[in-house]
């Protein structure tokens, strides 16, 4: 791995959606040699994957969580008033029993 490979990695870490043409321009290569370097870095396992980081403030909580909670007396109504459901956990919109 040389200086140009490291520059490519820095650019991709900052913005994984950068087009190859833009990466090539910033590191002083043409499109094809730049694409070959990125491809080689992927095949070598240096680039494991490309990921999108979702801004929770913009889209809200888009995840579904499944929990298993057991009540000593197996009464669903008592679970709703237990500390597990009443502290520091966002309010649920739907319960599945």
Q: What is the pTM of this model?
A: 0.59
Domains, the chain: 3-43 (1.10.10.10), 56-86 (no CATH)
pLDDT tens-digit readout, 50-94: 888 878 788 776 666 666 666 666 666 665 665 555 555 555 555
Per-residue confidence (pLDDT) for residue 52, from 0 to 100? 83
Instruction: Report the percentage of the chain scoring pLDDT > 70.
Output: 62
Per-residue confidence (pLDDT) for residue 18, from 0 to 100? 95
Q: Which residue has the higher pLDDT, 76 or 31?
A: 31
Q: Is 45 left (phi over 0), alpha (psi -120 to 50) or beta?
A: left
Nearest one of 69, 67, 68 to 82, comparing CA atoms = 69
Rounded to 10 deg, the angle between the 3-14 and 31-43 helix axes is 80
């Amino acid at each position: 791995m040389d200086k140009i490979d490291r520059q490519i990695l820095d650019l991709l870490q900052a913005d994984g959606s950068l087009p190859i043409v833009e990466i090539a321009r910033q590191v002083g290569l043409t499109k094809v040699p730049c694409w070959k370097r990125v491809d080689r870095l992927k095949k070598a396992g240096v680039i494991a994957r490309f990921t999108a980081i979702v801004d929770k403030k913009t889209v809200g909580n888009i995840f579904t969580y499944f929990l298993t909670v057991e009540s000593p007396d197996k009464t669903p109504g008592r679970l709703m008033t237990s500390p597990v459901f009443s502290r520091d956990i966002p309010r649920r919109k739907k319960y599945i029993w």
